[in-house]
Chain A
Amino acid sequence: MKREKKKSLSSWSRMDKFTLGAMLAPFLTAFVVFMVVPVVASIVLSFFRFDMLNTPEFIGLDNYFRMIMEDKVFGISLANTLYFAVITGPVGFMLSFILAWFINELGPKARSVLSFLFYSPALMGNVYFIWQVMFSGDSYGYVNSLLISLNVISEPIQWFSNPNYSMTLVILIQLWMSMGVSFLANISGLQNVDTTIYEAAAIDGVKNRWQELWYLTLPSMKNILLFSAVMQIQASFSVSGIATTLTGNPSVNYSTHTIVTHLTDVSGARYEMGYAAAISVFLFLMMALARIGIGKLLDSTGK
């Protein structure tokens, strides 16, 4: 068959358009049903009071007022989420990139072994339960018993029930969990960088690895970076399951209460779906903003 040049949509024949439509239909249907409809539905729902059992009742912006003006716990959860995102987002992102950069220098065998090791926490899903065992509040918990035998402490520390420790621990565990995906993306991004440009750049006067990294590597894997950054933001904004499992719901003094925890709580335990929808719309906007910010930031690489 002859290779054809790309044509603009308007120049396509009817038949071609039909074919195009038919090919896209399965995906489009799924996309609309499972993505567009729920998003639109939750925006609509956020103006209603709805307990899943009785007919929804329109209440205008009440849910939003309540969220911003009345709900103290929402304020705490927003602060926690931002704190969480600011730390795990950038740190996780940079850590995963630096690790990928180092490991990429190794031979193929060591690289695949290490990649697997770093990716495995993400692969294994609920593996973070081991942290619960390690940081158990029992005096026989691994960390407590170690610290007691080293005479660092005399009483077991309630790691996940003490606000002084719980947030830090959850952040560390979240970092450990979420690094895998963006790390893997970064590795593949690094391997796809065209090696010839390094030679060309060396001739053009690039002197060291840092310049290589900033002027060549980073710009040429901008898309991958964007992907891993988005993954990282999404992960750090929507953290909840790990925190809830480890520190309970609600955590002591709401120390690890995040927006998603709050959302699950409002919808799951209190059946206030309208209010939960309002919170999710808020979260959605926050994520979108962050995504735009990151795009801007990445654009500046190599400049």
Chain B
Amino acid sequence: MFRKLIAGSLAVLMLLSCGATAFATTTASDEHMADVALDNPTKADVCSYREYQSAYADVSHAETSIEITGEGNGADLYLPGDSLTLEFTVDEAGWYEPHITYRALAGTGGDILFSLLLDGELPYAQLSNLRLNRLWKNSTEEFQSDEDGNQFSPEQEEVFDWQTVKLYDSEGFIIEPLRLYLSEGAHTLTILLNSECVTIGSVTLAQPEVLLTYEEYAQQHQGTVYQGETLVYEGERADLKSQKMYIPMSARNDADVRPADPFKKLNNYIGGSNWNGDGGAITWNIHVPADGWYQLGFHFRQTYLQESNSYRTLLIDGEIPFAEVQGVPFPYKSGWQYMHLDQHVYLTEGNHTLTLRVTLGPLADFAAQLQSITGRLGVIYRQIVKITGETPDANRDYALFTALPDLKEELTDISTKLETLALLSEQISGAQGGTNAATLRKAKVIIDQMLGKTYEAHTKLKSFYDNYSSLSSWLYEMQNMALDIDSIFLMAPEKDFSEVEIGLWQKTVFTFQRLWASFFIDEGMEVEDENTIVIWSNWGRDQLTVLENLIANDFTPKTGIKVEIKITAAGAVQGKLSGNGPDLEINVGRNSPVNYAMRGILVDLSQFEDFEEVTGRFSKTALVPYQYGDGVYGLPNTETYPMLFVRTDIFEELGIQPPKTWDEFIDCAKIINLNNMNCGMPQIYSTFMAQMDVPLYKEDLSATNLMSGGAVNAFTYWTDFYTKYGFPKTYDFFNRFRTGLMPMGIADFSVYATIRAAAPEINGKWMMYELPGFPQEDGSINNAVTGNGTACVILNWSKKQDQAWEFLKWWTSDDIQYRFGVNLESVLGMSGRYETANLNALYRLGWEAENLAALKSQGQKLVQMPEVPGGYYVGRSVQQVYWNVVNNGEKVEDMLKKWVPEADDEIRRKTEEYAQN
């Protein structure tokens, strides 16, 4: 009841504030355009667009447009927080549709995010997170190919053109353009940049456009019907894309995907699992030979969403021609399929553009409602867990409905809503009792059971949670609007696809040719000659394909050196034994360079003249782990270090601040534990040692320093988290963080990309901070961090060491590392983020500003530990100590004394064994 009341009164307040905002008059400032420092209001205080709409439901659309132009060529916004305020006067009150003319400025390649404020305030929540996309095209007109005719996927190049766009809800829950109610009089409109950089040209407050129905459209265009040849536009030849990851791709096993070749890899479609949301648009330039009515056809593949459609908005020359194509459904089927658009389009002779833009179509409203329900379920779950813990005692009565007085009403309301949604879901999919509706009804059943037996409600907590998480993940999956487009056809109405379809016989022949090719064409084999360097790597195929593309596009043309990459799990040792070793190895483990170097099979990279220039690309201590004796035997490839991840929404609920010191960290952990949640602490003993200024090894690297008093302190401090404060020893950080059961945890910064990519439902509810540290006497905080990473090495039997060094210099350079990271993300999506050791490249890879600041600052404090011969034993001894301490309650000091000599022995033995080398 209480919650309901609060919610109700909040809603009323919001409506009032919305109204007040809109009707408020502003004081005119002297400057026409002013850069004002504004705080971005948080969404929580503001009403939603639907509420805003209903507040002004009786107001009519504006009859005129207002154009507001800035000075000169527009205003450049560079940094988050930069803003542009425009003043204007409204003669006639009503609904207006803001259109923005802008041009992207070179940034990190991500979407431009901004807020739009009216009279300095946020009219409704959706305006706090608006998106302007960039434009990308293939960097080369024709697809490049290797010697065998296999095509590379072209790199993407940004196009800095002016665009005029309407504003859409960036979550995609509202499919029509967003509108503003403007009262008569003077107003200001502020564009407040949240990320990336942009030039704003002008803003038009246009008269809201009402889409024509197809009937009206048909009446407007009385013309002839096209009778000529079928026009084919290849999907992979798309001219403009809104994301760099929409790259031409290759489907090799399908004869009907044009162009198809059983023996060569040809680019033949576009889209893929990356073209799945964020209003992603792909545009084709088309040329039409004659005025007339055309039939639109698609050859596409939608194997991503069972029981549902992938929706696209069709735009011709940037406009939606009629309402029916606002959400064109692309149904599910395994394999490629042909489809006609039910309606025909009228095109005049000449050039046009045709755009497909991701939309949730009829699912938008459904998804919005489901999101609000899962949000509420999440809150309820956390409230219950606060009382009962994650695993309630079945025999105890927690009196949940007394402790949470509003629980009953809230659950009843959700139960009703779930049934409504189930019906709606059946309506959309057109089938009774699909799995989607069943998912919703299952959740309803559990909630009804909790309501039915209030004294046993806590026994259902586990099922409640399972249903909540399956609804959440379904909500996420259903918004995944992935689609592959092979070709688009403009054809005479009445025609079918028989002339473009491929016969069964041809398909069969193709299949046999593919089978044949798989035996006899050795993909990726190249002829070795004296100008080819050979690289071995145990990286994934995707990474190496991207690297091969880069080499073919950049390295070989520039230097004339050819590169052959072999994917192998074998290391240099096997290479040496077989007498067939590589010139280079990339992405080898942290301890390999020293291990190889002591056995004398690596080239000392510091002997190269320009070595010093290269080292500046990495963090200060990045080379330390690859030093052996006086030499440096590896260049860093990747480098990672842990950061502190915090669920800001839960911290707000609990009234605590992200910790800066370990004492604060422990205080937070206590509060979190009290509320039956927990915190994550990985095995970062070396970070604690670094923060306490205790080196891991003795100065001459002859033994570990783990038995010193300082090390015992650091170790005890670390294991206390498990023994004293009850931190879990084994946990899945990502899942617990996502559900809020672990609102604070330390994890590698690569988790950032995983959460961003795979847990969009908690966007804006979490942050990545620097690690806590220990206060120093001078008032500063020592929060040093140790990291991990991989390296590249040159083998000393190579006869092409200079070429290999040339390659390493190219490979570790800022531009190439950045391009590799970007290209990799265009293949794997954001979760494929490449943790390059090249700092300039890393920081450009697209991070939210505040998180990036934390990442950079923590990176400054990175202390890499040296590697020593036999050093692999240190980790083992530490493991032994750790488990004995946390499981069996042994004393840290005793255990260190018991296990560390084992590591020291190994180090001594290996050092002696290889001393002569």
Please list the residues of chain A having a beta carbon within 8 angstroms of any beta carbon in chain B: 51-54, 136-141, 145, 148-149, 151, 155-156, 158, 161-162, 248-250, 252-253, 269-271
Task: Annotate B786-814 by CB proximity to A: 1 below 8 A, 0 otherwise.
Answer: 00000000000000000000000000000
Known contacts A52-B573, A53-B576, A137-B729; decide if A250 and B599 are in contact (CB<8 Å).
Answer: no
Once the chains bind, are B728 and A253 in contact (CB under 8 Å)? no
A139 touches B880 (CB 8 A): no
> CB distance B883 to A161 under 8 Å?
yes
Given A53-B601, A156-B730, A270-B906, 13 new contacts (CB under 8 A): A52-B576, A54-B599, A54-B600, A136-B730, A139-B390, A151-B393, A158-B887, A162-B883, A250-B876, A250-B879, A250-B880, A252-B883, A270-B870
Interfacial chain B residues near A253, Cβ < 8 Å: 880, 883-884
Least CB distance, B397 to chain A, in whole angstroms: 16
Residues of B within 8 A of A145 (CB): 391
**Chain A, Cβ-Cβ closest to B393:** A151
**For the complex, what is the distance from the CA of A141 to the CA of B393, rounded to whole Å?**
18
Q: Which residues of B contact A161 (CB under 8 A)?
A: 729, 883, 887
CB of B731 within 8 A of CB of A138, answer: yes
Contact B391 A52 (CB under 8 A): no
Closest to A140 in B: B732
Distance from B582 Cβ to chain A, minimum over Cβ atoms (Å): 15
Distance between B340 CB and nearest chain A CB, rounded to angstroms: 47
| CB contact between B884 and one of A53, A148, A252 (< 8 Å): that residue | A252
How many whole Å from A157's CB to the nearest CB in chain B? 9
A138 touches B390 (CB 8 A): no
- Indicate if B577 sits at the interface (CB-CB under 8 A): yes
A-B Cβ contacts below 8 A, count? 64
> Cβ of B876: which chain A residues have Cβ within 8 Å of it?
249-250
For window 717-763 of chain B, which residues contact chain A by CB distance below 8 Å?
726, 728-732
Residues of A within 8 A of B849 (CB): none
* A53 near B883: Cβ-Cβ < 8 Å: no
10 A-B pairs (CB sep. < 8 Å): A53-B576, A53-B601, A138-B732, A149-B462, A155-B726, A156-B728, A249-B876, A252-B884, A270-B870, A270-B910
Chain B contact residues (Cβ within 8 angstroms of A): what range? 20 to 34
A139 closest partner in B (C-beta): B728
* Binary CB contact string for chain B from 847 to 890 against chain A (1 if under 8 A, 0 otherwise): 00000000000000000000000101000100110011011100
| C-alpha spacing A54/B887, complex, angstroms | 42
| A108 CB, min distance to chain B CBs, angstroms | 38
Nearest-neighbor residue (CB-CB) of A269 within chain B: B872
Chain B residues in 8 Å Cβ range of A156: 728-730
Cβ distance A147 to chain B, nearest Cβ, rounded Å? 10
Chain A residues within an 8 Å CB radius of B910: 270
Per-position 1/0 for B509-546, Cβ under 8 A of A: 00000000000000000000000000000000000000
Return chain B residues, CB-CB under 8 Å to A269.
872
Cα A293 to Cα B398 with chains together (Å): 64
Q: Which residue on B lies nearest to A52, using beta carbons?
A: B573
- Chain A minimum-CB-distance residue to B572: A53
A53-B394 in contact (CB<8A) = no
| Contact A252/B887 with A53-B576, A53-B600, A54-B600 known, Cβ cut-off 8 Å | yes
- On whether A149 and B600 interact (CB within 8 A), knowing A52-B577, A137-B729, the answer reads no
Which chain B residue lies CB-closest to A155?
B726
Contact yes or no, A138 B728, CB < 8 A: yes
Q: Which residues of A contact B730 (CB under 8 A)?
A: 136-138, 141, 156, 158
Partner of B573, one of A53, A140, A148, A149: A53
**A52 to B883 alpha-carbon distance, docked (Å):** 34
Which residues of the other chain, B, contact A141 by a CB distance below 8 angstroms? 730
Cα–Cα distance between A155 and B886 once the two chains are bound (Å): 12
Question: Which residue of chain B is the closest to A252 with respect to CB atoms?
Answer: B883
Nearest CB of B to A217, in Å: 47
Measured in the bound complex, the distance between the Cα atoms of B728 and A137 in whole Å is 9
Min CB–CB distance B490 → chain A (angstroms): 52
**Nearest-neighbor residue (CB-CB) of B876 within chain A:** A250
Q: How far is the CB of A82 from chain B (nearest CB, A)?
A: 23
Task: List, in ascending order, chain A residues with CB within 8 A of B576's CB.
Answer: 52-53
The residues of B that contact A250 with a CB separation of less than 8 Å are 876, 879-880
B639-653 contacts to A, CB under 8 A, are none
Task: Give Cα A298 to B389, complex, Å.
Answer: 58
Residues in A with CB closer than 8 Å to B573 are: 52-53, 271
Question: Which residue of B391, B577, B730 has the most chain A CB atoms within 10 A of its CB atom?
Answer: B730
Q: A residues within 8 A CB of B601?
A: 53
Which of chain B's residues 689-739 have a Cβ closer than 8 Å to chain A? 726, 728-732
* B window 379-393: CB within 8 A of A: 390-391, 393
